[in-house]
Amino acid sequence: MTRVGAGRISSAPVDPVTATVTIGRPREEVFDYLADIANLPEFSDHYMDHFRLTRVDSVGEGAGARFHLDAPLARFSWGDLTYVELNRPHRIVAIGRGGKFNRNKTTTIWTLDRSSGGGTELEMMTEVEPALPTDRFMESVTGYRRWMKRNVRKSLRRLQSILEEDYDRGERATVAGL
């Protein structure tokens, strides 16, 4: 479906990729870990690399990062992410851009609920809004959505092992050049 607005044609968002994991740690602890954007590469470095913070303070609203996605057949694989809403201990919303000329909007939402036994049910949803029909076409041709779903699931399993067992940690992000 195509929308026309302000003289520009754009595509509707692609179906979001969603994954869920149950972590045997209190919700507040999981939230505090995720609220520090510098922790993201610790469990996502298998598909995101060259992760650099956009400011020195990596916690809270406004914290952001730029990174490279190691996606197959991706010619324009740089993206960014900025925390725009943190509702402790329930939800974190990050908005970003990626693709050619950073024209594709991205939204990532982490939702944290209590699970039985005092743990945390964590759901991660990420969606891309291609700016042009050609961007949508390239995502379908390269299998981007399937690739992203597989990597998001793996990152949540790694997050679970980091928080429950302090195992499988990658490196934390730093400010570029530091």
pLDDT reported for residue 8: 46
From the first residue on, what is the mean pLDDT of each consecutive set of 10 residues in the chain (178 residues)?
A: 43 76 94 94 86 90 88 72 95 90 86 89 89 69 76 92 79 64
Model confidence, pTM: 0.81
Give the integer Cα–Cα distance in Å for 111 and 123: 5
* pLDDT value for 6: 44
Say what the pLDDT of residue 12 is: 54
**Beta-sheet strand order (sheet of 104-114):** 17-23, 120-129, 104-114, 91-98, 78-87, 64-69, 48-53, 174-175
DSSP collapsed to 3 states, 41-92: HHHHCCCEEEEEECCCCCECCCCEEEEEECCCCCCCCEEEEEEEEEECCCEE
Class of 2-169 in CATH: alpha beta
Q: Where are the domains of the chain?
A: 2-169
Alpha-carbon Rg for the chain, nearest whole angstrom, is: 16
- Per DSSP, 14 falls in state P
